[in-house]
Amino acid sequence: MKTVREARSVAVVINAASRRGAAAATSAVDLLKQAGVPVSAVHAVTSGAELTGVLDRVAAEQHDLVVVGGGDGTVSYAAGLLAGTDTVLGVLPLGTANDLARTLEIPNGLAEACAVISDGKVVDIDLGRANGQPFLNVASVGLSVGVTQALSPGLKRRIGPLAYGVATVQAYARHRPFRARLEFPDGDHPTLELEDLLQVAVGNGRHYGGGNTVSPMAGIDDHTLDIYAILAAPLREHVKIARLLKDGSFVEHDRVYHLETRNVRLVTHPSMPVNLDGEIATESPTDFAVQRNAVHVVVPQGSTGATFEGPSG
């Protein structure tokens, strides 16, 4: 399917527990129908357990298009189910960070996002895998896990993306440095032993954490993973790094390691939980890989965030 106009069967799944999901559930479907999208099934879900079950069933039904409304975690789970199939993913950014939408230049406004579903173009994007679990933006261990644990749903609803700053301050105060080893099964880099770490992250996409950039050249269809490791340092140095997060130039700081690869194994001491697009979904040791051109997504006609290449073979 090259355009949504060709779709014959369209399912809409809204995570009503996401920051704007409850308010958008009914109006999103109305807007899509008014735009000529042939909606054939609608699911508005209110819990995580219900959401995964519904997405599993919807993916198995082999619709031409599945429109998912929610945050990055919801969209990443759906992308993992649709990866490698001909079903196209439509994104309604209803969460707090909406970093995939930012990467693909999908507007945050509900009416505008619905218009993209109707009139946009289809591209294919890479999907990251961490111990087989999907992620679209970034997977990480260390400080980011503490941030995720400090991000209560109530805080995100009250102050939106500013919640990330509040949670980061709280997590930083509690953080304890850790050790990690990066192994490269393809032999493109030597094994890297690191101590006294603040965070290790593996990026598949371009944006994460409410608008931070993985690295200046990172892209969601470049078929590589960007790895960065931030060493522990005096607070003033971490403040300098934080000021460079928006444009990704922090990777040039002398307390940051940055590498590109397609496969990497992360071993930490001790074993640690791993954050995948805002959801704690696995733990280390973790095998990371990139699945090329895995997911077809509808984006604005003018979007430069990804292109359509077709099957990678």
Q: What is the mean pLDDT of each run of 10 residues along the chain (313 residues)?
A: 81 85 81 93 86 95 96 95 97 92 96 95 97 97 84 69 77 87 98 96 94 95 97 92 94 96 96 94 97 97 91 52
Contact 121, 3 (CB under 8 A): yes
Structural domains of the chain ordered from first start: 4-125+294-299 (3.40.50.10330), 133-291 (2.60.200.40)
Strands (DSSP E) found in the chain: 10-15, 39-45, 65-70, 88-93, 121-130, 133-135, 138-142, 178-183, 192-203, 207-208, 212-213, 225-231, 256-261, 263-269, 273-276, 279-283, 286-299
**If we measure between CA atoms, which residue out of 39, 66, 37, 64 comes closest to residue 54?**
66
pLDDT value for 157: 67
pTM score of the predicted model: 0.91
253-283 exposure pattern, b = at least 16 Cβ within 10 A, e = fewer: bebbbbbbbbbbbbbbeeebbbbbbbbebbe
pLDDT value for 296: 97
pLDDT value for 269: 87
pLDDT value for 68: 97
pLDDT value for 313: 43
pLDDT value for 70: 92
Contact 117, 32 (CB under 8 A): yes
